[in-house]
Amino acid sequence: MNWDDLKLFLAVSRCGTISGAAKQLNVQHSTVSRRIKNLEQSLGVSLLRRKQNAYKLTVEGAKLESAAIRMEKEIVGLDAAISGKNDSLIGSLRITTISTMSSSILMPIFKSFCEAHPQIDLHINVSNDTVSLANREADIAIRWTNSPPEMLIGKRITTVASTVYGSTSYLKNRTSASKLNWIGAKCCNFHDSWTKQYCDSRTQQFNSNDSSTILSAVREGLGVTFLPCFIGDACPLLKRYCEPEPIFDLGLWVLMHPELKNNARVLAFRNHLIKVVEGQRQLFEGNKMNGELFTQ
């Protein structure tokens, strides 16, 4: 049995789709499909069953997944032990985070970490999709969620508050929610679902799956959209349409694979991130004092 085939199988079981697994592993859709079929033929069993546009594990597939996860843990641990990566503050560190944060609030954190650890090379993977930490696509994931993956360990650093923003000029004479034009925010599932809920499923004239494009559209006065407060409050051209509500709160998590919990570089970045974010908690939580942003 080829370990590479098992990696493909695990990717499909975790993503639920062939296309998602292909994107995660940076291979062709046809390659994943063909090798999964070959694996099933070699084992003489059906591993996956298509149901409602997603793949679910069969009984045999669930058994293989359990075995493959055990193999994955052993390989990750062996790789770290042989290379001595756990004890070194020299080498590469791969971090995956979402586009909304990478070029804004996280960039100063990346800069200060590089200055503190000049022999660690940072590789930032910007993606809103699931990235497999176990497959060495990343060592650390920075995500906002209220339900982190069970196979990973991590820490909830703070709360990310969000609310509706528009440009100051756009909101000047608009007090009624029925008169608002909503921008179709497809950059993440959270903002997309909140938008659909609050604009009564009306069709949005302007839509984008890129957070930078969405932010530019709001600044230009194309309409309103949900934004995390650390972005909306930092832009002088934008204004809150309403105050943040707890139902839109998300946890900010730093996640890692269990086998990397003692990795020196992973721990160094984790601790650095937690320390800096702790000092900026008010910004993430969207708190204001006397109508202005609270800064320490």
CATH of domain 162-248: 3.40.190.10
Model confidence at 295: pLDDT above 60: no
Start-end of CATH 3.40.190.10 domains in the chain: 85-160+249-293, 162-248
Structure confidence at residue 294 as a pLDDT band (50, 70, 90): very low
Q: What ranges make up the beta strands (E) of 29-173?
A: 48-51, 54-57, 91-97, 120-126, 140-145, 153-160, 162-167
Top mean pLDDT of 1-10, 99-108, 191-200, 244-253 is at 244-253
- Out of 105-114, 143-152, 235-244, least confident range: 143-152
pLDDT tens per residue across span 24-41: 777 888 899 999 999 999
pLDDT average, residue stretch 149-174: 88
**Assessment of whether the complete model's pTM goes beyond 0.75:** no
Q: Which range among 46-50, 205-209, 246-250 shows the weakest confidence by mean pLDDT? A: 205-209
Give the other-Cβ count within 10 Å of 182's Cβ.
24
pLDDT band at 89 (very low <50, low <70, confident <90, very high): confident
**And the tokens for 8?**
């493909």
Percent of the chain with pLDDT over 70: 87
CATH topology of domain 85-160+249-293: D-Maltodextrin-Binding Protein; domain 2 (3.40.190)
Residue 51: φ, ψ to 5°: -150, 115
Fold of domain 3-83? Arc Repressor Mutant, subunit A (1.10.10)
pLDDT for 2-22, tens place per residue? 888 888 898 888 888 888 888
- Residue 270 in this model has a pLDDT that exceeds 50: yes
Bin 178: left if φ > 0, else alpha if -120 < ψ < 50, else beta: alpha
Cα–Cα dist 288/296, whole Å: 12
Average confidence score pLDDT of the chain = 84
CA of residue 120 relative to chain centroid, distance? 23
In this structure, the number of other CB atoms found within 10 A of the CB of residue 50 comes to 10
Q: Which of 14-28, 67-81, 210-224 has the highest mean pLDDT?
A: 210-224
* Start and end residues for every CATH 1.10.10.10 domain found in the chain: 3-83
